[in-house]
Each structure stands twice: as C-alpha cells, then as structure tokens.
Structure 1
Amino acid sequence: MKPFKFKQFEIQQSKNVFRVGTDGVLLGALTNITNASKVLEVGTGTGLISLMLAQRNPNAEFLGIDINEDAVNLTQFNFENSPFTSRLKNSLQDFKTFKTEEKFDLIVSNPPYFEASDSEKDKIARQTVELNFSQLISKSSTLLSENGIFSVIIPVEVGGGFIEICKENQLFLIRKIDIKGIGNSKIKRLILEFSLTEKVLEESEFIIEKSPRQYSDQYLELTKEFHVFGK
C-alpha cells in the first residue's frame, strides 16, 4: 500500500490498520493544542493525528496507545521516521486498563463508533467492540489535567448521546465544530471538545468541499501546512 505523503512527514499504511482519512486530518488540524504540553492519543492507527499535532505544537510531548499490535508497529515506524520522533512515544495498551500517574493537557481520539456487527472490515478501529463511548469518556475524565481538553470527532447522529455521557462524567462541552461535506448538505461529523470546567461554548461550521471533488477555501487554508496538493 502506498505511503501518504505530507509536507513534513510521511505515513506508511497497511491493509490491517485503518488508513489515513479526512476525519483524522480534520481532528489533527482543528483540535486546540495551543497550551498542551502532555498529549495522549487513544487509538493511534497510523499515528496521523499525533504527527499533525506534533507539527502544530513544537513543545508538546505525545503518548499514543492502541490495542491493535499491527497499528502500534505501524505508528512506531511512522513516529521514528518523522522529524518529531524525540517527542513521540507509542505503546500497545488497552485504554480500559491503562494505568498512569500522569495527567494530560489534551486527550484526543478518533474513536470507533459503529455498533458491533458481523463485518470484519477494520473491526477494532470502526466498531465499539473493544472500546465504547462510556469507557472512553469515563477513563478520559480521570486522566485530564485541571485545564485539559478532551477532543474527538464523531458522526453527528451520535453527538447528543456522547455529550450526555460526558456530562455524567463532569466533562463540559466547550467547543463544537459542525462539519459538512459540501456547503448545502447536512452536517455529517462533529468535532467536540470538553473540559472539566464549564466555559462559554464556542461553535463554528466547517465545509470540506465547495463542489464535488473540489476542496473548499476553508479546507485548503486549514491544511496548507500539511497536504501536498497537486497543481
């Protein structure tokens, strides 16, 4: 499988690991990492999100964990071959039993969101067989630093339930980005950021394409430091 080339790093891919996709790119480019020094990514896959965040914040240190050994090996390769390797660590871990004394300024995840089914395609990465929303949220709430942020990208259909589970775990919604595929279409994804402290909610809209297969000016501007766009 061909590697995915970005301006400052390259992502090797594998048929056994969830590939580079728009959701991961958006989360890596839009997540608030300004004040983070310790970052945890839950479910690294290829390592894409941590690598994008490492490019955006040269002072942050990262720990990525994944339950899939193939993903961990692939992430390790991509981390080691990036210019940010000294700030990136990676571990084979089940988040449900993950133990650490550290608190994190940012916990970021592109979590599995499909209900368990008979489909074997990217089962661990896509289906809630190993990690469901309640497990992800409750564990994250215990690992956040006082001013930390918990950031995810999920389908709009499950957004309400996700926000409610966060409330039950004393995580308050502080930022919401409605993501549309094309300007006049329905919202398809949400980027949600939560904090242990209630704040005024920041809301915005993001449009990926201005017409089919034509990126919007908003997307081009957001990803100009990452994507290598053809002429």
Structure 2
Amino acid sequence: MKPFTFKQFEIQQSKDVFRVGTDGVLLGALADVEYASGVLEVGTGTGLISLMLAQRNLQAEFLGLDINENAAELTQFNFENSPFRGRLKNSHQDFKTFETNDQFDLIVSNPPYFEESGSEKDKIARQTIELNFVQLISKASRLLSENGIFSVIIPADVGELFVSIGKENGLFLNRRIRIKGIENSKIKRLILEFSLQKKELDDSEFIIEKSPRQYSDQYLELTREFHVFK
C-alpha cells in the first residue's frame, strides 16, 4: 500500500492494519495534549495519532500499545522513521493486561466500536472483540494522573453509553465535540474527553465537509500543519 505523507512525517500502511482515516486525524488534531508530559495511546494502528500529538507537543513522551502484532510492528517502523523518534515508544501488548506504575497526563484511543459481525475486514481494529468499552474505560481511569485527560473518538450513537460507563468509573465528561460529515447532516462522531475532575462542559460542533468532497474551512484550518493539500 502507498504511504500516507504528512508535512512532517510519513505513515507506511499495510493491508493487515487499519489505515489512516479521518477519525484518527481528527483525534490527533483535537485531543488536548497541550499540558501533557506522558501520553499513552491504546490501539496505535499505524501510529498516526501519537505522531500527530508528538508534532503538537514537543516535550511529551509517548507510549503506544497494540494487541495486533502487525500493527505494533508497523507503528514501531513509523515511529523510528519520524522526527519525533526519541520521544516515542511502542509495545505489542494487550491493554487489558498492561501493568505499569506510571500514570499518564493523556490517554488517547480510537477504540473498536462495532459489535462482532461476519466480516473479517479489520476485525480487531473495528470490533469490540478484544477490548470493549467497559474494559477500556475502567483501565484508563486507573492510569490517569490527577489532572489527566482521557480522550476518545466514537460513533455518536454510543455516546450516552460511553459517558454512563465513564461516570461509573469516576470519570467526568469535560469536553464534547460533535462531528458532522457534512453541513446539515446528523452528528456522526463524538470526541469525548474525561478527567477525574468535575468541570463545566466544553461543548462544540465540527463539520468536516462544506459540500461533497470539499473540506470545510474548519477542517482545513485544523489540519493545515499536517495535511499536504493539492
């Protein structure tokens, strides 16, 4: 597969690993990484999100985990060939059994979100077989630093469920970005950010395209330091 070229780094891709997509780009560009010194990404795939966050925060140290050996190897390759290689580590590991004494200022994930189906395409990355929401949220809540942020992108129709599980695990919703694919359409994705601290909710809307195949000014501005637009 062809690599995906960004302004400061390149993503090698594989047919065996979930490819670069809009969800990952949005989370990489919008997750609140400004004050983080230690970042954990759960389910790295190609390494895209950590690489984008490393470009945005020039001091933070990153650790990526992926249960898929092919994804872990691909992430490692992309990390090692980036200008941020000295701050990026990756491990082939199951988040459910991951053990550490560290706490993280930002835990970020573009998690699996489809229930099991008959399709084999991107089975681990797209389906909740290896990691469900309860497992992800409960473990993330224990690994957050006192003022840490847990940031995810998920389908809009599971947003209430995700927030409810967060509450059960002592996490407060601090920020919500409601994402539309195109103007005047339904909300398709949510970026949700949680912390152990109760704060006033920062609620906003984001539109990807202003018309079919025409990116919105909002998207162009957000990604101008990353995308190479023709």
TM-score normalised over the length of structure 1: 0.99
Following superposition, the deviation at residue 116 of structure 1 comes to 1.0
Partner Cα distance (1:17, 1:118) in 2: 18
Identity of aligned residues (%): 80
Mapped to 2, the partners of 1:70 and 1:177 lie a distance apart of 31
Letter of the 1:4 counterpart? F
In the aligned structure 2, how far is the partner of 1:181 from the partner of 1:91?
33
Name the counterpart of 1:25.
Answer: 25
Deviations 1:35-85 (A, max 9, x none): 000000000000000000000000100000000000000000000000000
Query: Take 2:149 and 2:196, find their aligned partners in 1: how far apart are those partners?
Result: 8
Give the CA deviation at 1:118: 1.6
For 1:130, the equivalent position in structure 2 comes to 130
Matched, 1:97 2:102: no
Aligned-partner Cα distance in 2 for 1:156–1:210: 20
- Per-residue deviation, residues 145-199 of structure 1 (Å, max 9, x unmatched): 0000000000000000000000000000000000001111000000000000100
1: CA distance, partners of 2:205 / 2:17: 30
Find the counterpart in structure 1 of residue 9 from structure 2: 9
Q: Which runs of 4+ in 1 moved over 2 A?
A: none
**In structure 2, how many angstroms separate the alpha carbons of the residues matched to 1:184 and 1:157?**
17
Q: Deviations over 1:193-215 (max 9, x none)?
A: 00001000000000000000000
- How far did residue 108 of structure 1 move? 0.1
Q: Which residue of 2 aligns with 1:81?
A: 81
Aligned to 2:204: 204
Aligned-partner residue type, residue 22 of structure 1: T
Deviations, residues 21-47 of structure 1 (Å, cap 9, x unaligned): 000000000000010000000000000
Q: TM-score, normalised by structure 2?
A: 1.00
Q: After superposition, what is the alpha-carbon deviation per residue over 1:61-115, rounded to whole angstroms, capped at 9, x for unaligned?
A: 0000000000000000000000000000000110000000000000000000000
C-alpha distance in 2 between matches for 1:63 and 1:5: 22
Matches within 5 A, 1:146-165: 146-165=146-165
State the alpha-carbon separation in 1 of the partners of residues 184 and 27 from structure 2: 22
Return the alpha-carbon distance in structure 2 between the equivalents of residues 180 and 129 of structure 1: 27
Question: For 1:183 and 1:193, how far apart are their aligned partners in 2?
Answer: 24
Distance 2:137 2:153 in 1: 13
Letter in 2 for 1:108: V
CA-CA distance at 1:225 after TM superposition: 0.1
Count the aligned residue pairs: 230
Matched, 1:174 2:174: yes
Alpha-carbon distance in structure 1 between the residues aligned to 2:181 and 2:117? 26
Structure 1 gaps of 5+ residues are: none
2:44 matches 1:44: yes
1: distance between equivalents of 2:121 and 2:157? 21
Deviations 1:105-135 (A, max 9, x none): 0000000000011211000000000000000
| Amino acid in the other structure paired with 1:139 | K
Aligned to 1:142: 142
Distance of 1:79 and 1:206 partners within structure 2: 29
